[in-house]
A and B are shown apart, each in its own frame.
Chain A
């Protein structure tokens, strides 16, 4: 069975500081990895996916199959980045069935 782990429930940084949200997964096949974000009083939305290799709002994430990790990084955090972040995994044949991590609440202080 697949599993996603986000070791930090809470993460607090100052504006302009680098931020890294950790995500580790366990799955024997070739997974699709995603980062979803939930801003205050808004619905959950996709931030980025590993297969697109894109940078969204300054965030990047690299899939490291050797370490089974998909950490989310941003070099200079902004106050508007404060939100709940979820790492999620989808098996290659499972359609949209997602396995989520526990979530990390990021707070960017002024």
Chain B
């Protein structure tokens, strides 16, 4: 049981390049999310998905695309990288909300992206 796996761990891009950050989970979780972590700003939600074929925008979606063709995978695409997208990106997954137990999110180890 690997949990949430993100690839790559590190990436350097040139301005204008595109790339896809991969995220996979093996816990059969319905919910998956992408966050970016910036100093002094905490984690901010980029996009999320409540199940295969369903995605929606979070707080900071501009410049990013997502798709959810399977329950396991939730890739994040940068269409045309900009220096402002330099950040650490985290993928997270969780079960459908259980009001009795709270909803714990399980995080990947992160992808550190630098755009030059």
Contacts and interface: CB of A to CB of B under 8 A. Distances in A.
Contact of B50 (A4, A9, A95, A102): A95
A97 B58 contact: yes
Given A43-B108, A45-B107, A96-B94, A86 B101 contact: no
B101 A52 contact: yes
A44 B40 contact: no
Contact of A96 (B40, B59, B100, B105): B105
A102 B109 CA distance: 19
Contacts of B107: 43-45
Interface stretch (B11-19, B41-49, B64-72, B74-82): B41-49
A61 to B, nearest CB: 12
A32 B42 CA distance: 18
Contact of B33 (A6, A36, A97): A97
Interface of B: 30-31, 33, 35, 40-45, 48, 50, 58-59, 90, 92-94, 96-97, 99-105, 107-110
Interface of A: 4, 6, 9, 32, 34, 36, 43-46, 49-52, 86, 90, 92-103
